[in-house]
Amino acid sequence: MQLLKKALPIVILTFFHFCSIAQKLIPPPIIQESWSLDYEPFRIAGNLYYVGTYDLASYLIVTSNGNILINTGLPGSDSLIRKHIEALGFKFSDIKILLATHTHYDHVGAMAAIKKMTGAKIIVHEKDAPLLADGGNSDYAFGGNGSTFLQVKADRLLHHDQDTVRLGDMQIVVLHHPGHTKGACSFLFNVKDSIRTYRVLVANMPTILDQTKFPGMPTYPDVGKDYAYTFGAMRNIQFDIWVASHASQFGLHKKHRAGDAYDPKVFIDQKGYDTLLDELKQAYLKKIAGN
Ligand SMILES: [Zn+2]
Ligand SMILES: [Zn+2]
């Protein structure tokens, strides 16, 4: 009896401790099969590599002082991303900085796991930091029912459009492109191979969720204004190569097939970028007119 009285609080404490570590997750609103399918990693241009799944893009930027990983796929994608990075001959533990185009479960799902394994610093826009910290529960469109991915705190917040992230010989300009999430960002930087330098845009294309209501909603009063700003800002970016958060958005599988030789030129595609941006703007105008 005496023993039980002592043991009970320990059991209860251990249970709650376990619960706080495990962080109960709710199922995400949508999951597509192509989001977790494996895909052969490859060199896109210079020191930029594709290490994501078939459709959820993750980008490795190799620098003179460790590496940068942009986007981490779904919860559980960490093992595939690790396999891809190692298959290319790089060390997983060399990831020093983690970035995200936006903090939805399909792009930051494995952020907590990869941070834990590598000790990398997470850098996000201040307006996406609350989502990362509560596992997506404060998202204006998907939030309110619980966490869809493991909660993790950012180490550095970006406050302005065109803030810079530096590591080794790399400088990444972060472009704030709000709308899809409040802190969504695109990344602009130069990569080099033995022949030339390429200006690369990792674009967060302003796709519109069914849940989004224009001109504003209680959870995001300025959503219409922010989309309008982002369409204007994205029209004026100068780049040689563009890629995006989802492989399907920039036509990866039409431009590159598994086993293809290194050929950065296939990603030079201003027309594809302009066409998609036009289509999304038309969808935005149609939706705003209908409200
Ligand atoms: Zn999203
Ligand atoms: Zn997505």
Indicate the pTM of the whole model: 0.92
Structural domains in the chain?
31-290 (3.60.15.10)
> Nearest ligand to the C-alpha of residue 104?
1
- Sheet-wide strand order for 121-125: 42-45, 48-50, 59-63, 66-70, 95-99, 121-125, 156-158
Find out whether 175 and 187 touch, Cβ atoms under 8 Å: yes
Cα of 22 from ligand 2 centre, angstroms: 24
Could you give the CA distance from residue 80 to residue 209 in angstroms, rounded to a whole number? 27
**One pLDDT digit (tens) per residue for the chain, 291 residues:** 444 444 444 444 443 344 445 678 999 988 999 999 999 999 999 999 999 999 999 999 999 999 999 999 999 999 999 999 999 999 999 999 999 999 999 999 999 999 999 999 999 999 999 999 999 999 999 999 999 999 999 999 999 999 999 999 999 999 999 999 999 999 999 999 999 999 999 999 999 999 999 999 999 999 999 999 999 999 999 999 999 999 999 999 999 999 999 999 999 999 999 999 999 999 999 999 986
Cα of 212 from ligand 2 centre, angstroms: 15
Could you give the CA distance from residue 230 to residue 98 in angstroms, rounded to a whole number? 23
The confidence score (pLDDT) of residue 56 equals 98
The confidence score (pLDDT) of residue 4 equals 43
Cα of 184 from ligand 1 centre, angstroms: 9
**Beta-bridge partners for 200:** 189, 241
Q: Pick the closest to residue 154 from 97, 200, 205 (CA basis).
A: 97
Could you give the CA distance from residue 270 to residue 106 in angstroms, rounded to a whole number? 26
